[in-house]
Amino acid sequence: MDYSEKVMDHFANPRNCRMMEDANGVGTVGNPTCGDLMTIYIKVNDDEVIEDISFQTFGCGAAIATSSMITEIAVGKTLEEALKISRNDVAEELDGLPPIKMHCSNLAADGLQAAIENYYENNQ
Amino acid sequence: MYLDNSATTQVSEEVFKEMEPYFIEEFGNPSTLYGIGRESKKALNLARQRVADSINAKPEEIIFTSGGSESDNLAIKGVAFKLAKKGKHIITTNIEHPAVKNTLGFLESLDFKVTYLPVNENGVIDIDDLKDAITDETILITVMHANNEIGTIQPIGEIGKIAREKGIKFHVDAVQSFGKIEVDVEKLNIDLLSLSSHKINGPKGVGALYIKKGTRVVPLIHGGGQERGIRGGTENVPGIVGFGKACEIAAEKLDEHYKKLSSIRDELIDKVLSTIPEAYLNGSVEDRLPNLVNFRFKAIEGESLILLLDAKGYQASTGSACSSNTLEASPVLTALGLDPVDVHGSLRISLAPESEAFDVDEFVETIAEAVKRLRQMSPLWNQELDYDNIMCKKHEDNCRKC
């Protein structure tokens, strides 16, 4: 697979890859049958800022790298800002993804959205 | 360490040396009458003899092609078009190589009927299913000798006997088995047999189809009458010379290589299964090529595993959809009845005679570490998932599989 150096770096040295016990928002997206399943954990403070974010991913190099990358992009952002992060933003930050991976493994933005939605549900 | 020899092999020094003169010095066209052409013709004849000897055939039964895929196409379409008036039914298995499978799919679009025999969890067909599938319309049975992904061997001898008794042509794709186990077209009652050079330390772009004397096929490539009119086009002389040499070496060293490779294979199976939790072998333990194993590891995805192993200097492959050009999980592993999630965690390791200096302990340790690492990252490992709460947004994006 023709991955950029940044993708390979995030795959080989994933940032914030862990389960988060005290998360107040958790989102899981994907489908293991298709080869990708991603859980994003967020800890949101009273100002609705993402204080901490982590992930666990079953999937290919691109799935792991995009998960890792979104934790770096989203940390410190307000929920409003974080909801604006798109799949393309994640891919661009990684210097691109192979075209075939753009739709199938580029799930991190969806995962973050799911985690934020979960946070809102928990804190209505 | 290169461990993907079922994908392709390195050309051996001996083979390369044999080919070298046929690029610059002996560049003649074998169809010409003057000296330099005659030299090429002689080289072609020697290669044909060597290929024939390695499968117990006669030289006039060997047609050189561009490789395994062309041989499969020529055999299957060639027989189907020749015998279409007699019947339009073909029998095969559901784990064939795409060169066979997609050729049959093409014939189905031309109103041929194809029966795909299922395999059991070991990857082997049931002979009774074959017997039941045969009709008066059956003109061809095409079954691979050994599978390219899992390495299991089909009961070719039994199939050949049945086909011969019923007067049905029998084609065997021997691309993976040739050079690894005995392939004897007489003993196995084979009418057509596909071979490839680059799987046995020969060059790429060359292969052969054995066509038993008396079996007729319609050509795919019409041209200047080369290869007895069955395959037009000026012959790939250096490639064919290399292929012939590779066949000679493979046949000479068959037993030696078998012993060496199968002992590494068995050690590898033992150590992987005993040291890595939730590791399984795909395909049967017995009836397996000496050089190929396929494992699966729970809760991890194969492409990631391949990338981690590559970073440690080991090149292997996987049947995971994520690593394929089509994003489809391996139909072979799926045919074994495996859970699609587990198919993603497959790892194929294929050895070559030059793999002898290979430290199995170190390799297994590397796999174990990589698997452990991916499991630590995986939400599927040791966790209960609430599937009702998982959003699969892939649907919106035209993901073909889910």
Contact criterion met (CB below 8 Å) for B185 and B215? no
In the prediction, which pLDDT does B402 show? 45
Higher pLDDT, B276 or B388: B276
Query: pLDDT tier at B397 (50, 70, 90 boundaries)?
Result: very low
d(CA A32, CA B298): 12
- Which of A28, A60, A100 best probes binding to B when mutated, by most B CB atoms within 10 angstroms? A60
Eight-class DSSP state of A51: E
Question: Which of B308, B380, B393 is closest, CB to CB, to A32?
Answer: B380
Residue-wise pLDDT for B9-59, tens only, equals: 999 999 999 999 999 999 999 999 999 999 999 999 999 999 999 999 999
Across A25-47, average pLDDT = 93
Question: Among B172-176, B221-225, B265-269, B389-393, where is mean pLDDT lowest?
Answer: B389-393
pLDDT > 70: percent of chain A: 99
Is residue A104 annotated as part of the catalytic site, yes or no?
A: yes
In B294-353, the residues whose Cβ lies within 8 Å of chain A are 299-301, 303-304, 307-308, 311, 320-323, 325, 327, 329, 340-341, 344
Say if residue B160 is exposed, middle or buried (CB neighbours under 10 Å; 0-12, 13-18, 19+): buried
d(CA A65, CA A63): 6
CA distances from B319 to B171, B342, B347, B395 (A): 26, 10, 7, 23
Across A47-63, average pLDDT = 96
In the prediction, which pLDDT does B386 show? 66
Question: Which of A27, A64, A104 is closest, CB to CB, to B304?
Answer: A64
A vs B: CB pairs below 8 A: 105
Across B135-150, average pLDDT = 97
In the prediction, which pLDDT does B327 show? 72
**HSE-up (13 A, CA, CB side) for residue A11:** 27
pLDDT > 90: percent of chain A: 84
Angstroms from B383 CA to nearest CA on chain A: 11
Q: What are the structure tokens assigned to A74, written together? A: 């989203």
Query: pLDDT tier at A1 (50, 70, 90 boundaries)?
Result: low
Residue in B250, B251, B99, B249 with CA at minimum distance from that of residue B171? B99
Across B173-182, average pLDDT = 98
Question: Among B57-61, B188-192, B342-346, B373-377, where is mean pLDDT lowest?
Answer: B342-346
Across B370-390, average pLDDT = 84
Which residues, including other chains, have CB under 8 Å from residue B253's CB and lie 6 or more apart?
B353
In the prediction, which pLDDT does B394 show? 47
Angstroms from A104 CA to nearest CA on chain B: 7
Q: What are the structure tokens assigned to B25, written together? A: 């010095």
* Contact criterion met (CB < 8 Å) for B399 and A33: no
Across B250-278, average pLDDT = 97
Across B108-115, average pLDDT = 98
Res B261 pLDDT > 50:
yes
Contact criterion met (CB below 8 Å) for B325 and B98? no
Q: What are the structure tokens assigned to B287, written together? A: 């009836």
Across B358-367, average pLDDT = 96
Question: Which of B303, B380, B401 is closest, CB to CB, to A37?
Answer: B380
Higher pLDDT, A60 or B389: A60
* Contact criterion met (CB < 8 Å) for B300 and A58: yes
* Contact criterion met (CB < 8 Å) for A36 and B322: yes
Beta-sheet pairing, B207-211 with B192-196: antiparallel
pTM: 0.93
Query: pLDDT tier at B253 (50, 70, 90 boundaries)?
Result: very high
Say yes or no: B33 contacts chain A, CB-CB below 8 A.
no
* Contact criterion met (CB < 8 Å) for B344 and A32: yes
- Which of A3, A37, A106 best probes binding to B when mutated, by most B CB atoms within 10 angstroms? A37
